[in-house]
Structure 1
């Protein structure tokens, strides 16, 4: 009898973890205190302690009273640090086991896969409609410079090798790899440079996406187009590390050029390997000589700089096409399948591998343009800063001069214009698609777009081959996004540019800062409405608009069940392109292996296809449901605003959470907040430390706060049935509810229950806890469930296991935070806090990495 998905999880994940973890904890890393033996005992003490409503300090003290009476204070702290090291590696082990089990647990040919799409099209007589739609549809995943996971490159390699060994039940190899894992350092003493950050992510392109994306393209050509070639590169990859300057002063023009070169050289290294393998088969007359030349050219180009590159996709495809023709005509199409696979890769990846985006904050652009106005003669009016927006735009579109960045005194102006000159260089070497988008974050006006647009022309680029992409983030900016776009579409200079770009416009909508600004429900609803409104005005002006979602990873950053989210969008929202950011733990969990990567890319493809080909009108909001959704959004927004404006909000984050320790983790290259102010200002907070700090507290506020209050208000007003109807009718709302339940499943309030007795923050903690309980109870009632995530038992089990692994780590972290607070209250010197601050910082990694299945 076939096992259920849950039974397969129990057999291939839970059982394996228990076996291999017992091997890991008994390996002789520490012969003095037997850390691996003591850790399970500490875990048990933690579980019992929270059941008895003890605080983390009491739990740690209880453990040492039972099992560490003979240890002095230093030895006790050393043991806690060793616990941290062990737990970090237990998380890695669990990651590897889940990776190995992925093809067993999930049906790689079932619903949501390309095979499922093909069979549904056949059953509904929609095969021709499917082919037609695929000719213009695209999925684009953008790997971002927002690391919410910390694994050094060597650890990624261990995870991969360990997963293979586990898959093959190779016990000896597993034991050796566990030993390697135990002795491989995780912690970096210095922040990675933006280039090092990029190299870490390029590992996934080289080892995962290169195979998975080409397999998808091959399947579509073979099984859906039945041997014909789909000219549309239906799946592509974007890349932000090295190009994303927003809030990262360490990204330079040279960084951008170096990353683009690394992308290209890594791709050519993969091409060279494929060509070398092809040459072992294509040993035929009239072919062998040509493949030898191509192989040598690819090898040479691994080492060439931008200005030395000669190869182009057109040249490669021409040569490979002629080789293919000879193979068919003279050699009975021997190994044609292998050659076609390589040709498909060249069509997909060109000479760029992934498209490098440039991104900068609109406020920086304004300062740069003002600096240019004051430093240069005749380019802009000297009083530019005091002009109205309309006057500024009028001046910007009249610019004729080209500016040499090196002639400017302002450093930010040099860097900003330097990035645009770098785009031109990259396009010459990697092709136009290699770097052709300029994203404006914190975009709130037409002027924000026109300032960035004008800078393209300042860089000796009369007809720039660049798409200008506004990113609307806050609730207010999202509300007026359609007006901004309508005005741009009517501006003669911008419209002329759009005509040169094929009347196509990409608009980015950011979840992370929207959630931080307006709360979970309102941020999602604001983005939905913005998409509808922008779609309407774009269609009115004959513009083909596509949306780029800054979805991030966990639901609090807009993530969650991504394929369901895209499948829920109705015909009033343009969805010819499904494009989203992928970051941190979402990369490793959803795209970390060729199997999981291909599966999740196919889920994205099917989500876009199903909304158009199979259910075009299914997801339209009725007037009644739209009114209910609007009421819920406004009520949750009011509740979140009240919470955010509470006097304790920022002090609570600053003093009771791990917020300030994110800057010390050396996970990513960028600072943990914008600006250089020492005091904590809400607008300067970056979304990752903000969301991450709530996650470390196991409160996950950004993923649910305000939703319970909104539902309670509906109930009090006698409108509960309206909310139930909305849940039943709207896949969009249902997906939001499920994602909120996922966030809440990772909450554990007993960890911080001691805070309710704090004289300053007790009432604030209770406010959060009451909203959590309110939201949980009402969501269970709304969905008819008995427990959170009832309909996703495997993911729920995975989350529960991960939470159990990191429970002692969280306990150690809270213990250290309490010790810091106690020492500060006693007037201790900063040096006396150092060991506990280090403990907090070290404990962040395992917790961050364990949050892998957030999306």
Structure 2
């Protein structure tokens, strides 16, 4: 069965950076052997032998540096489709199992570093604070910034997670079992028991469908995203914030003034309507209800747990009078608890919290799976009252020598109540500016204000919108007959207003405007929010105010270039300035990595994002406004992905000012939050990097002007090369859809949102996710590197001075080093020979194939050459040995999958709708898409 080649007989002792590499190899071999046993038992010896032969061919080809495509094609050639499906599933499961072992190995290495006292690891809070002290940053500054940090990961429904939650749950069980194997000898009876359990879990995987039977609904996406709170976030976030306080106390003798809201989770699932017609007011109501249910269920469980744990007897201790009063007010007259004041007090607190839950959930309170209090009590007016009662409990515990219990048992519950509240996380609203202008036009028309809003120029629109924002009257009239779109949008806003009224501002904190290009795009949203009371006009001497942040999203290269001008005009608008003042004088701006990349290519996108941030920072500073940036990053380098710590430190000076928001998308959500250890590492990295970048302030990513000028020239040259390929050849859209399985990707049940904004087949109208996902499948991955080679050649090809400057930029400028290293990661994953086979078999026009693939191949070689010249190494993963090892482990599993996918795509596209096995061939294609995405890991 597929297993990697055995390690050398006398391996070198593992160093600190690679501790337990043998253990990782052993885990993967064990999982491969167990999967082989299952395949042999379930699918027969012939299938097992075919899979093993394919693995050996692929391993040999990769080891010898020779293409194994031809040999694999001969081996895996015409087979019964049922057997082909077995082969695909085997390699898919093997990749997933290898991923699970690798994730466990990361945690194993972390524990090893702790056990040998090797000191804080890079990227951790402790290591960051140590470095800031060594850099001479003022202690008071560090403590002040630690207390003001605001880090918000925002989970979106952008669909690249192809795995079912059922699969993720089984893999979690396998990870737990592998962890239990650590340190057990071969003769240990416990080991054989665990191995049997592992085989049972792998058998479960084999007999479980990999793909979903039906397309996800938004309600499914809501429920799946909420699983991560019980899986890791309820445990990890309060503990991380407590550790932040402890580190500050240890280093500086005093905790930060306020660290209760360092990490605030966000979500778009149920509030993001941009291009998703299935997100309605009812769906938003469902999202809020589910979030509230999950939060309150957790709080009720924790109070119930405390009521069991705090069993102190009044015969042995003397509680405070305040604690006795809580116990008396509980109404608990059980003779069994007569001498247990803490238990009685907490039962009363549970009853009041349950009543609060009934109040905010209404009929949905039945979704809670916890006991109904025997003695009903009046509800808490707010969770702050419950937190105060827990203070009473903690104070009483400390009064009789039980301070440790107060710190270990009670304080985490208080912190959790503060962090998650009744809302759990902030649900953002998002909609496209094109929708807003139509809704506003409809309202203005029915109100008799204007019949030609859509025909107005920008100045006229601003005048009309400003007048409406100053007016106390509303546009909406109960007897007017509005367009369906207007009715739907206003219903969502009404639901948002009701939610804020019931749960507070944190429940719906932001309104994001996609494709924002002008001041009117922002003022339109302000007018719409005014209609539901979330924006209030100035009256009786009181200035205008807003209940939430209005966030323009700048996405394309052109929008990014003009973003600072738009922001300057917006902040200069007198009415909008009042709204900003009501939001603590802070403006949030979102920048889009995905669409800017699809619009102009990787190098151009990265520079325009950097330049836009720098300009936005200066604009906000000039206006006296605090700026918070929201980074719309995806999982791949082509969509803004890459190591988060380096990415945050590489931002322009002043752009990370105590606060940052970032999107978490697709399969990266499970990769980062499926387990407490993963969540801890990811969140700590975000917090540590934000702290480091904020403390560096104006000393951040500063670079000489000559470097910035060179980078600007490179971006322009890369933009020209990219646009010439992608948008300059009328045949390119056809080439893309033939060489990639993009059309087939659309049949995968991975999300509720359509793949394209319109029915057009143009690249412009395709969403960035399937654009990147498609190129990943054929291993060309052009969104993350195309145009860079031409740019370097144009600017420095025959100029040794410029070549030396590029090397200096890589050595000394964090921004440039980050984009070159991230590009190197993708170049290591790209495979031009695999891509060539897709082109040869699937692109039907010889001239189109020769021209376009020839240009891609030439650019790929040019980019590899320049990456080596700049970094000084032919290995694009020279500084990332762990990823290099991971890719070596998984490449042999990918090569057979590519060969099968190419053949199935050819068969499917050549067959007619009545072909006997067409449905099975399509299922095979879907399985290969899933399997290749698994092997690549960050696929979209």
TM-score in terms of structure 2 length: 0.85
- Superposed displacement of residue 396, structure 1: 2.0
Q: Report the more deviating stretch, 199-208 or 663-672.
A: 199-208
Q: 1:260 aligned to 2:288?
A: yes
Structure showing greater radius of gyration is: 2
Selected match of 2:659 from 577, 582, 594: 577
2:188 aligned partner = none
Deviations 1:74-113 (A, max 9, x none): x621111112222222232123212322222245741221
Equivalent-residue separation in structure 1 for 2:915 and 2:674 (angstroms): 41
Contact 2:143 2:256 in 1 (8 A): no
Which digits, 9 at most, give the CA deviation of each residue in 1:765-800, with x for residues without a partner?
Answer: 121111111111110121011311110000121133
Matched, 1:515 2:584: no
1:190 and 1:406, CA in 2 relative to 1: closer, same or farther beyond 3 A?
farther
CA distance in 2, matches of 1:243, 1:279: 37
SS at match of 2:604: helix
- Given the alignment of the two structures, is residue 807 of structure 1 paired with residue 876 of structure 2, yes or no? no
Partner residue, 1:360: 431
Contact kept, 8 Å, 1:439 with 1:468, in 2: the verdict is: yes
Q: Is the 8 A contact 1:142 1:580 kept in 2?
A: yes
Task: Check if 1:445 corresponds to 2:526.
Answer: no
User: 1:199 is matched with which residue: 223, 232, 236?
Assistant: 223
Distance 2:201 2:415 in 1: 35
3-state SS in 1 of match to 2:153: strand
d(CA) in 2 for partners of 1:244, 1:405:
27
Query: Is 2:862 the partner of 1:774?
Result: yes
Q: Is 1:488 matched up with 2:573?
A: no
Superposition map of 1:688-767 within 5 A: 688-718=769-799, 719-754=802-837, 758-767=846-855
| Secondary structure of the structure 2 residue equivalent to 1:440 | strand
- Kindly indicate whether residue 626 of structure 2 is the aligned counterpart of residue 544 of structure 1: yes
Q: Distance in 1 between matches of 2:479 and 2:835?
A: 53
Report the CA distance between 1:657 and its aligned residue.
Answer: 1.0
Q: Does structure 1 conserve the Cα–Cα contact (< 8 Å) formed by 2:165 and 2:224?
A: yes
Question: Partners of 1:668 and 1:278 in 2: how far apart?
Answer: 39
Go from structure 1 to structure 2 and tell me whether the alpha carbon gap of 1:272 and 1:732 turns closer, same or farther (over 3 Å shift).
Answer: same
Which is worse superposed, 26-35 or 383-392? 26-35
Counterpart in the other structure of 2:276: 248
Matched, 1:231 2:302: no
Q: Distance between the aligned counterparts of 1:39 and 1:333, measured in 2? A: 60
Name which of 551, 555, 568 aligns with 1:469.
551
Q: Using the TM superposition, name which of 89-98 and 504-513 deviates more.
A: 89-98
- Superposed displacement of residue 143, structure 1: 0.8
Distance 1:183 1:429, change over 3 A: farther
CA distance in 1, matches of 2:87, 2:359: 47
After TM superposition, the structure 1 stretch with the greater mean CA deviation from structure 2, 34-43 or 242-251, is 34-43
CA contact (8 A) 1:755 1:761 kept: no
Write out aligned runs for 1:336-355 (5 A). 336-337=406-407, 338-355=409-426
Note closer, same or farther for the CA distance 1:174–1:192 as it changes in structure 2 (3 Å cut).
same
Report if aligned partners of 1:698, 1:751 keep a CA contact under 8 Å in 2. yes
Q: Secondary structure at the match of 2:463?
A: helix
Distance 1:207 1:583, change over 3 A: same
Structure 1 residues 496 and 616, CA gap change in structure 2 (3 angstroms)? closer
Equivalences for residues 414-429 of structure 1 within 5 A: 414-429=487-502
Query: Which residue is equivalent to 2:650?
Result: 568
| C-alpha contact 1:306 1:425 (8 A) present in aligned 2 | no
The residue that corresponds to 1:504 in the other structure is: 586
In structure 2, distance between residues paired with 1:802 and 1:182: 19
Judging changes above 3 Å, is the alpha-carbon distance between structure 1 residues 501 and 572 closer, same or farther for their aligned structure 2 residues? closer
CA displacement, residues 165-189 of structure 1 (integer Å, 9 cap, x when unaligned):
1001132221221122212222112
Check if 1:785 corresponds to 2:873.
yes
Matches within 5 A, 1:10-29: 10-27=21-38
Query: Deviation at 1:748?
Result: 1.5
Q: Secondary structure of the residue that 1:668 maps to in structure 2?
A: coil
Q: CA deviation at 1:852?
A: 2.4
Correspondence 1:383 to 2:452: yes
Instruction: Give 2:466's match in structure 1, choosing from 382, 392, 397.
Output: 397
Q: TM-score, normalised by structure 1?
A: 0.93
Change (3 A) 1:162 1:52: closer
Gapped regions of structure 2 (runs ≥ 5): 1-11, 115-119, 182-193, 313-318, 324-341, 366-378, 537-544, 841-845
Q: Secondary structure at the match of 1:530?
A: helix
CA distance in 2 between counterparts of 1:794 and 1:289 reads 54
Aligned residue in 2 for 1:851: 936
Q: Report the Cα distance in structure 1 between the residues aligned to 2:414 and 2:477, rounded to whole angstroms.
A: 41
1:280 is matched with 308
Distance 1:406 1:799, change over 3 A: farther
Contact 1:518 1:641 survives alignment (8 Å): yes
Q: Which residue is 1:68 aligned to?
A: none
Kindly report the root-mean-square deviation, in angstroms, between the aligned alpha carbons of the 2 structures.
Answer: 2.6
Assess if the C-alpha contact under 8 Å between 1:36 and 1:86 holds in 2: no
- Equivalent position SS for 1:413: helix
Listed as ranges, the gaps of 5+ residues in structure 1 are 66-72
User: 2:532 pairs with 439, 454, 459, which one?
Assistant: 459
